[in-house]
Amino acid sequence: MAKKKGYYLNRVGLEVIINNFCAIKSSECLNPTNQQTRYSLEKNGSEFYIDVFFIIDNTITVTPLPKGNSPELATELHGLIRDGVEYKNVVSGTFSTLLPSDKFTELTDYMESLPGLKYTKEDKGQNGLILKYSTDFGDSVTLTYYNSTQKLFYQGLLMNLYVVIKTFLATYTGNVISTKISDSGNESSDDKVTKHTNENLPRGFSLLDPLMANFITDSFTLVVASPPLRDYAAWAMPTIRVLEHRIKQLCLDNNVYLSDKQGFKYYVNPGVSNETDYVFNSNHRNTFINTNLQSNFDSDTIDILVRCYQYLKANRHEMFHTTQIVEGTKLVSTPEEAYAIISGSCKLIEESLVLQLGSTA
């Protein structure tokens, strides 16, 4: 897939940035062929102009014009637009996986239900069913599915649609889906991802359920691809899910049965579905296991459970849920912060797996 030259921004996003800087006096399409649109703008009584080209691949390019009485404002606005784009230096990648035909249908139905997504289908018989998806800000992917072998091939950008598709597939596939990143240098992307998993889970990665290993791989695939974002929570989310699973697995291994619909509540009497209580309790300073459950766990398991839960609570609930007051929503604003969350999660996951391995030795 050829690298796109424009900014990954739609008209709505563009005009939000413009309106935050100045007033739009008018906009006129000068050339319907390339959607060249001239914006006449005003700020503090000064007039200036930019031309925006809405490219066929749904990206845009911006040209500040040397006209009006303040052309320097056009240059300044161009810089703000460039800096305001969420995705920069986007790379493309490919992967393949086995997927039953009914699950493929579920995937396509789900994709087609997403708002603002355009798609085309072309059945080429033995050459596969080809589906092309695109957003209005330049994200695009191609899926090819072969009914005879039930194999799915992905080719596309590592942006929103990639995360949506990989997250959906992770629910159904037990194998680790490796993504090959285009133009990733002399060292292959697979090697880079493997290096990260070996460094962060030297003993534990091979002990993970394949589905959970897949989530870890997804986090490090995004680390290697390193698509610039305004919020890097998407990098950490798959690994945070593994941390949550480790807590639930440790509970299950010690005969504590959780209510999946109620988070970390357990069935007080497994035969009574509506009788539940919290696994974890806390006061102002400490988190601890419900006293009624402490006989189910040894001291080392209690220790790792509490630390995993505290880490999960500190990151998941603040990072993946917005607040009623938008300004209170926590962002993962840098790649370094995202990697630190992933690494911290892996450390606890590794410790829990090694502890479990020791208890079964």
Q: What is the pLDDT of residues 248-294, one digit of tens each?
A: 999 899 888 888 777 788 888 876 667 888 888 887 778 888 888 88
Rounded Cα distance, 338 and 318, in Å: 14
User: Is the pLDDT at 21 greater than 90, yes or no?
Assistant: yes
Place of tokens 């630390």: 307
Residue 183: predicted pLDDT: 57
Residue 2 has pLDDT above 50, yes or no: no
CA-wise closest residue to 239 among 214, 215, 263, 205: 215
In the structure, what pLDDT confidence band is assigned to residue 133 with cuts at 50, 70 and 90?
A: very high
In the chain the beta strands, taken as DSSP E runs, fall at 23-31, 36-43, 46-54, 60-64, 92-98, 118-123, 129-134, 140-146, 151-157, 180-181, 265-267, 276-278, 280-282, 287-289
Query: pLDDT class for 324, splitting at 50, 70, 90?
Result: very low
Where b means 16+ CB within 10 Å and e means fewer, 34-67 reads eebbbbbbbeeeebbbbbbbbbeebbbebebeee
Per-residue buried b or exposed e for 99-111, using 16+ beta carbons within 10 Å of the residue's own CB: beeebbeebbeeb
Burial class (CB in 10 A: 0-12, 13-18, 19+), 19: exposed
Percent pLDDT > 90 in the chain is 37
Helix (H) or strand (E) holding 333: none
**Range name among 152-161, 294-303, 315-324 with the lowest pLDDT average:** 315-324
CB atoms under 10 Å from CB of 285, counted, come to 5
> In the chain, how long is the greatest CA-to-CA distance?
78
Q: CA 129 to CA 303: how far, in whole Å?
A: 51
Q: Which fold has domain 11-84?
A: TATA-Binding Protein (3.30.310)
pLDDT tens, residue by residue, 22-56: 999 999 999 887 789 999 999 999 999 999 998 87
Residue boundaries of the structural domains of the chain: 11-84, 88-173, 238-360
Q: Alpha-carbon distance 148 to 134, whole Å? A: 27
pLDDT at 288: 84
CA distance linking residue 24 with residue 43, whole number of Å? 9
pTM over 0.85: no
With a cut of 60, say whether residue 327 has pLDDT above it. Answer: no
CA distance 128 to 142: 12
Question: Which band of pLDDT confidence, cut at 50, 70 and 90, is reported for residue 305?
Answer: very high
CATH homologous superfamily of 88-173: Bacterial toxin RNase RnlA/LsoA, N repeated domain (3.30.160.690)
* Distance from C-alpha of 83 to C-alpha of 105, rounded to nearest angstrom: 39
Among residues 308, 287, 289, 294, the alpha carbon closest in space to that of 355 is found at: 308
